Each structure stands twice: as C-alpha cells, then as structure tokens.
Chains A and B, each alone.
Chain A
C-alpha cells in the first residue's frame, strides 16, 4: 500500500516540476505564468460546464490508456495506440456503412465489435513479429501509426468519402443520427457506462486474476516465468491484443459519439496522450482513471484558451511535452538503473 502511495506521489512531484518548467517558459515568452495557469485551470475545471467538457476528453483517453497500461505491464512497449485507435474508428465506420439501414440495436454492437477487432488486429502483427522473431515492437508499432494515419486519409478520401463534403479536409459521410451514441458535446450515459465497464474489467484483470500477476512477473523477468512453465508468448500476445482492442474501442466511441464521422488526421495526439497518462499513473488502473481526468481537463482547456482567454493553445502542448519529458526520464532510466543496482544483493 505504502509503495503504491509513494509511486503516486512521485508521479505528482514530476508533474509539479514539469509545470514549474512551463511557468518559466511562459514567463520568458512574455506571458504571465500565473495568469496562464489560472486560465488553464479555469478552462479545465472551473468555468461553468468545464467538467462536462473535461470528461468528454477524459473517457476515451482513459480507455486507450488502460490498454496501454496492460501491455506496458507485460513488458511490451506498444506505442501504437494511435494507429490502433484509428483502425478501430475505420473498422467501425465500414461496419456502419455496410449495415446502414439496419436497426440501431444491431448496428451499434456490430460497430463496437468491428472497432475492437480492428484495433486488436492492428496490435496483432507487431505482437506476432515480436514474439516470433524478436522484432522490436517499438519500431513496428510506431510504423503502424504512420500506416494507420495514411489508411485513414485513404478511406476518407476514397471508399468512405462524403461526396457533399466541402471542407479542405476530406471526411466520411456522417453517421446516421440513430446510430450516434452521443451528441457532438460527447458525453452520454452510454459512453460513461462503457468507460466504467472498462475500468472495472481492467482492474479485475490486473488485480484479481492469475493473468494480472503472471503478466506483471513476465514483464519484469520473462526468464523467471519461463522457468515456471508459462508460455510467455501467450501472456505477451494477449496483452498486445487487449491494448489494441481498447484503443480500437476508444476510436469507435470517438467516431460514433462526438465526431459522428471520420476525418483524415482527426485527434492526432490521442494515442500519445494515452501513453503519457499510463506512464504518469505508473500503470495502475485507478491511477489511470484520475490522471485521465487531469489530461482531459488540459484537452478541454486547449480549446478554451484561445477563444475565451485570448491565449495560445500551444501552452497545453508545452505542458504535455514537459510532463512527457519528466515522466519518461522517471520510468525509463531511473527504474532500469534501480533494477540493476538491486542485482548486487
């Protein structure tokens, strides 16, 4: 228990340091740091309706981040959440197109199944390559992100193109209102229930199943679980599939809920923010839920800043980048060094 508390505290300290650094940057850029933070906080949580907006961003982020946490725990740096998220949205869109006209209670579940399958398949091939031939999953999943981005551009400009579209960005035909799971504000009971189900399921998986314990052991020392008779590739591949499926689920939600259509290059930082969230939360499911709300708040502040406060929304990107900088330093180098230090008993 205390160990968990310490790790959460460490995460928070890193965020505070990162924010302090941002303050310095803002000050140098000619803005008042305090004023900037004040506006960010207001945009995220303290203006009327802020919470609703923040949760709208937080819930899909949480779903993707929970999946990222599963594969990181098992020792696989699947950084392909963005691509898996896109594949989820694309597959759901194809399913909706194909079943267009059928009753909603058929179409909606089918779209969810398609989206999760799509995300999982987009994680399957890097997983197989890694487990069969040791190909570094960081490289393959990163490439997968680019491929998925291009695929999204292709389908929105090709097979799913909305002929009546006039914007510069090609996009797909809008989803029929009957199939939407939320309005464009993006918060609906359906989405809340799905996120809650994911939270409960992932918490149980990590904390209350043999899989959770074994995957975490395998992530820290695969040799040891191999000597215990575990089929390491099964643990690993399941983790890849779960994380892909959850990113695909988030993609489906974004498509069927707030967005209502696919646009080339939509939400281009979703997957990366989710990775950040998982790392800040130290891969714990409960932590991921809280940290998602924080980052959801930042996302909604990014929209608020330029419109209401006349400040550049790039401020939010700076905050994200600074947190990323400190968190990767913490979970990468420091932990590995600690692990080496421990070997001398």
Chain B
C-alpha cells in the first residue's frame, strides 16, 4: 500500500486542563475524500490545526506522505503539501479577488500592478472552476464564491492534502452541491481532501471514509462510508447513551434522513393566541448587506414557530435587521408582544420581549475577546440603567448556572468567548437569548455548526419556548430543520413573501417558491 497522505501518531494537545486531543493516531489514504466528524469541542479543529502546523502538540508525531514533519511549523507543513481552510474564513473584504489571491498566504510580491495580478490569477481560478472576475471586490461576492476563492488560495502551492474545516456551515444547499462537485474534481486530480463535517447526510453523500472523534479521542476510523449506516454513525458521534435520548423525528432530521413528506403537524397553536410579531407592509432600502424588503407582512402568534425558507441573500438578513431596528424601515408598522414598536429603538423592542440569535456568531453575537460572563450578562445589563450597581460575583455564578443548564463546555466564566469551540460559542448565545421573559425569539441559523446532540437540544429548547407561549422566527437554509420544527414555513424571495406552507410540507412546492418558479 502507498504511504498514507497524512498520518498522526499519538498526538496529544492540551489547553490548560482541557485535553483537546489525547493520543490520537490516524492515517488517511491518498487520493480519497475523508470526513472527520464529532461533537462540538471533540477536537476536530484542533486536529486540523495540528496537521497544518498551526498547533504544536505536546506529544506525538505527524507524517505527510510517509515523511516525518516537524510539528507546529506552518512552513514545514505547507512545504509538505498540507493546506487548511479555516472554519470561519475571512478574506479581506475590500480586496479584489486577485489581490486576495496574491496576498492571502504571505507570498505577495512587493511591487505589483492590478492588471498583472489579474492576469496571473485568472487562469488559476478558472482551472478550479471558480468563475469570478478577478477585478471584483471580495465584499460584493456571495459566500459560495468567497469559499471557492479561499480553496483556490489554498491550492496555489502544490497542495497534496487539503483540509476544509466545516466548509458547509456557511453554504446554502445549492452551494453545498457546488462545493462537493469541486471536492470530487480535486480528488480526481489526486488531491487528498479531509472534510470536517457535522451533518451525517453530507458525510454519506461525499466522503469515502469517515473518522469519528469524541472528547479528544479517536472513536473509530477511517471507516469506509459504504460500510456504515447513518444510525450507527450518529451513535458513534454522540455516544450510545445520548443517542437513545434523541426524539426519533429529531434524530432523523439531524442526521439528514428525514423524509420531508412524512412531517406532520404535531402541534396546534390555539387559534385565538395573541400576536407576538405583527409586521405590516414593511419596506426598507437595500444596502450592502442585502436586498430591500418590499411591502413585507408577517405575523407570528404566541406559541408558534414560523420558519423562513429561502435561498441566501433574498432579504432574510434585512428582515432580521428590520425587526432589530438596525436598518431603517421606510414604510409599515411593527409590533412585538402586542406593543407597537415601529419607532422604538432596539432596547425598547428587547424590553417588549424580543430576543435575537443573530446570523454572525463571532461578530454580532459575541465579543470574542471578552469574558463569558460579560457576554452572557450584556442583555440583562442593558435592561437596567447604565450606572446601576452590579455584583460580578453573582453575575458569574448565575452565568455558571445558565451555561451549565445549556451544557456548554468551558473552564471558567472568566475565560474569553473566543477560546470556546464553535458549537459551544453558539450555546452561550442561546443561553443568553432564550430566557423566561422572551416573547419573540428570532433564531437565525441557530444550529449552524452545531453537532447532532446540540442541534436536537436547540430544537427542543425552541419547542419548549413555544410551549411556554413564545413565538419563534426560525431562519434556516436547512429545509429538514425547517420542516421538522416549524408550524408554518414562509418562503422569501427578493425581499418579498413568495409563499406560505404548512405541514405536511411538499418539498417540491417549497423549492419552486424559493427559486421563483411558478407551478
């Protein structure tokens, strides 16, 4: 047999008292697509960072193509052909595509002309099927294309092993298809691709083998995907004990085995329930972050979960910002929890019971360099006066209780939010926004980047909030998720409502509304 493309032996990484990886030994075969899965905090990102030389393990060795490589040296790993695309990648927004390519990975020339750069990079982008004009600015591009550029950037050098950390988390279903097509082409060119994924459906659709991490240890792998079923894989990820506690419908939706037609309404909102969201004829201007809302009306009753489906970029973000008073509404009225808040700032809307789990966890949701307790207390502190006295010890204690109730994995409440794994960071936001006084919860992609167990947990929490009489607006690009927990699904297209559906959902009809095809 060939040398493995990438091999770790006995790799151990500790952050303080947290063992991110303990004694992981794993070898990936050449020229295949390998999936790495595991719960939030299982150590997937840490593994990827070790392989790319960004983290130096306390013990263990790294072999690339059979050759031992010094650990903890990006240059060495790169020279051996390993490239990593980060979980939350960030191209400089004001750069043109060509500039981003040139200066992405410390290979930039000192003196350059725009046109020379464009000439240099156009063929490379084209050869990877990234169809984009190298003159365009990064900020004007859809996220799929940005990711394509990020991958192209990783493949500038003669990469033999490409690691993508949760590449599908930012993508719409069609974007995921495009990515998978791209990954398959790379495999056919002989590149070994390692994908870190959460959704079992995606693993089974793309990968040749799958490896499972749990609590920093390798549970099993690489196992050929052909030999493993979704159910077995789900069990390996969460552990048999947790697997039994998942509600059957959730387990199916979370693992991507849900048959949408089978969804039936299992909850009935009382017909006379009051409206927690009453949006009438709201129009906004379009801005850099999305298209305008055009005469949009939307109501949510107490005890109802309304899902928003739609291809990304059809006004979902503008909708959330309009409800949050972060974009100026030109026409229309808005009431939250029965209170008219058309002219009220966000603070008053929040006082009326509005809660927001925003799209961008790391910028809109958390201050990564602040401590957990400060992040968690922000909402409450803003409800009181600026000079009111606080007792940090008590806030920390209550933060502890709240985070534990959401089973967040963390060391102390004084730790920076940025040191949590992606999924745990999201849970901190949930712990803050889903409280007893909430009347309307806007949940924008609340399970993006969460593992199966955590996803089911979020759904359960949203359902419980609904059963307490809360209204929930769920925005998601995952139709399984929408169909599984929404009482009603509204499709948005170009800033307008393109259709409203209720269970049982017909995926064909919803899909047609999303793309604007009339049936």
Contact = CB atoms under 8 A, between A and B. Distances in A.
Given A213-B378, A223-B363, A229-B382, A345 B345 contact: no
B455 interface: no
B347 interface: yes
Interface string B348-382: 01100000101000111111111000110111011
Given A216-B374, A223-B364, A342-B419, 7 more contacts: A3-B414, A207-B392, A214-B382, A217-B367, A224-B375, A345-B87, A345-B418
A242 to B, nearest CB: 12
B326 interface: yes
Interface stretch (A117-125, A176-184, A230-238, A321-329): A230-238
Interface residues of B, number: 48
Given A211-B387, A342-B418, A344-B86, A229 B350 contact: yes
A210 interface: yes
A345 B88 contact: yes
B382 A221 contact: no
A235 B365 CA distance: 19
19 contacts: A210-B384, A212-B390, A213-B374, A213-B378, A217-B378, A220-B370, A223-B363, A225-B367, A226-B346, A227-B324, A230-B382, A231-B345, A231-B347, A339-B368, A345-B45, A345-B87, A345-B88, A345-B421, A345-B425
Contact of B386 (A216, A238, A344): A238
B363 A221 contact: yes
Contact of B387 (A210, A217, A221): A210
Nearest to B360: A223
A345 B384 CA distance: 32
Interface string A165-197: 000000000000000000000000000000000
A224 B345 contact: no
Nearest to B89: A344
Which of B45, B363, B370, B425 has most chain A Cβ within 10 Å?
B370
Contact of B365 (A1, A3, A210, A227): A227
A164 interface: no
B390 A213 contact: yes
A209 B358 contact: no
B386 A208 contact: no
A214 B378 contact: yes
Interface string A1-30: 101000000000000000000000000000
B418 A224 contact: no
A90 to B, nearest CB: 29
Contacts of A209: 386-390
Contact of B362 (A214, A226, A343): A343
B90 interface: yes
A345 B88 CA distance: 7
Contact of B378 (A223, A228, A234, A339): A228
A64 to B, nearest CB: 22
B416 interface: yes
Contact of B369 (A214, A235, A339): A339
Which of A225, A230, A342, A345 has most chain B Cβ within 10 Å?
A345
Interface string B64-92: 00000000000000000000001111100
A214 B386 contact: yes
Contact of A217 (B90, B358, B375, B388): B375
Nearest to B384: A210
Contact of B364 (A210, A224, A338, A342): A224
Interface residues of A, number: 32
Contact of B379 (A211, A228, A342): A228
A225 B350 CA distance: 13
A343 B420 CA distance: 10
Q: Which 6 A-B pairs have the closest CB atoms?
A: A342-B418, A221-B367, A229-B346, A229-B347, A210-B381, A344-B86
Contacts of A211: 386-387
Interface in B251-303: none
Interface of B: 45, 86-90, 324, 326, 345-347, 349-350, 356, 358, 362-370, 374-375, 377-379, 381-382, 384-392, 414, 416, 418-422, 425
A338 B414 CA distance: 17
A207 B379 CA distance: 17
B388 A210 contact: yes
Interface in A265-317: none
Contacts of B386: 209-211, 214, 234-235, 238
Given A210-B384, A227-B356, A229-B350, A217 B370 contact: yes
A238 B87 CA distance: 37
A209 B386 CA distance: 7
A216 to B, nearest CB: 7
A190 to B, nearest CB: 26
Contacts of B414: 1, 3
Interface of A: 1, 3, 207-214, 216-217, 220-221, 223-231, 234-235, 238, 338-339, 342-345
A224 B366 contact: yes
Given A208-B389, A213-B377, A343 B382 contact: no
A314 to B, nearest CB: 38
A271 B209 CA distance: 63
A133 B75 CA distance: 43
Nearest to A339: B369
A179 to B, nearest CB: 32
A230 B390 contact: no
B30 to A, nearest CB: 27
A338 to B, nearest CB: 8
Contacts of A338: 369
A46 to B, nearest CB: 38
Given A220-B367, A224-B365, A345-B88, A214 B389 contact: no
A227 B358 contact: yes
B391 to A, nearest CB: 8
A342 to B, nearest CB: 4
A220 B368 CA distance: 8
A222 to B, nearest CB: 9
A233 B96 CA distance: 32
Given A207-B392, A342-B416, A227 B364 contact: yes
A339 to B, nearest CB: 5
Nearest to A204: B389
Contacts of A207: 392
B46 to A, nearest CB: 10
A213 B381 contact: yes
Contact of A345 (B367, B370, B374, B422): B422
A229 B345 contact: yes
A233 to B, nearest CB: 12
Contacts of A342: 368-369, 416, 418-419
Contacts of B419: 342
Nearest to A234: B386
A303 B346 CA distance: 55
Contacts of A213: 374, 377-378, 381, 390
Contact of A224 (B45, B89, B367): B367
Contacts of A212: 390
Contacts of A1: 414
B437 to A, nearest CB: 14
A238 B385 CA distance: 14
Nearest to A336: B369
A217 B366 CA distance: 9
A13 to B, nearest CB: 21
